């Protein structure tokens, strides 16, 4: 049986998600594109070189785009930490992208490590991963899903896709502090629940 990166058995939704959405990907995260894909999404332990290379590329881009104090991307150790689950997206044996979910509390999660390989951009990989994370958060019983992304133009496509999936801007959450280089967004996982002022 497949297992999640947190050691728990993977549910069918943690192994494959059918909710593909039209999207592509910018270097900093998801964006919009009239294409769709429904690849395999599986838990990952970062043991494969292609996955490690993708995370290294992601970190390099984040540091090239934002000041060091404004980079909150998780490195390999952070993605293996307790409370963090990490998945990769595949088309056969080809790595397409990755994403992670960090538990902030029993009722809240945070999106981390959204990344698509350059060769896979334009196929809706990021939107598919985002839909999977929302589905997984609901399955865990989270009431709210949060994220931090950059305020620079580099991250504008990512912000647009998050907004299309129901995320709204909010103040800093968890241990974050106000930062002109950061944007904070949140989404209620209950259709009737309003977003609180403090996320």
pLDDT tens for each residue of 11-56: 333 332 222 222 334 434 443 333 444 689 999 999 999 999 999 9
* Of 101 and 7, more confident: 101
* Residue 78 CB-density burial (10 A; 0-12 exposed, 13-18 middle, 19+ buried): middle
Query: How many Cβ atoms from other residues are within 10 Å of residue 37's Cβ?
Result: 19
pLDDT of residue 121: 87
* Percent over 70 (pLDDT), the chain: 76
pLDDT of residue 191: 62
- pLDDT per residue over 137-151, tens digit each? 999 999 999 999 999
Q: Are 89 and 51 in contact, with CB atoms under 8 Å apart?
A: no
- pLDDT per residue over 179-192, tens digit each? 999 999 999 998 65
pLDDT of residue 29: 44
Domains and CATH numbers, the chain: 12-143 (3.40.630.30)
Q: What is the pTM of this model?
A: 0.78
pLDDT of residue 192: 54
Distance CA 194, CA 176 (A): 21
Mean pLDDT of the chain: 83
pLDDT of residue 96: 97
């Amino acid at each position: 049986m497949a297992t999640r990166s947190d050691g728990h058995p993977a549910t069918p939704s943690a192994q494959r998600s059918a909710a593909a959405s039209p999207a592509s990907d910018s270097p900093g995260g998801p964006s919009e594109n009239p294409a769709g894909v429904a690849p395999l999404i599986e838990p990952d332990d970062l043991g494969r070189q292609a996955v490690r290379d993708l995370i290294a590329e992601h970190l390099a881009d984040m540091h090239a785009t934002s000041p060091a104090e404004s980079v909150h991307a998780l490195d390999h150790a952070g993605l293996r930490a307790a409370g963090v689950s990490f998945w990769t997206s595949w088309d056969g044996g080809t790595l397409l992208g990755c994403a992670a979910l960090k538990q902030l509390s029993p009722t809240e999660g945070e999106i981390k490590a959204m990344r698509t390989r350059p060769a896979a951009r334009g196929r809706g990989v990021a939107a598919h991963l985002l839909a999977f994370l929302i589905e997984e958060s609901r399955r865990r019983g989270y009431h709210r899903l949060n994220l931090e992304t950059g305020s620079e133009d580099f991250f504008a496509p990512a912000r647009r896709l998050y907004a299309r999936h129901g995320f709204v801007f909010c103040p800093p959450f968890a241990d974050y502090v106000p930062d002109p280089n950061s944007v904070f967004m949140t989404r209620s996982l209950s259709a009737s629940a309003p977003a609180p002022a403090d996320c």
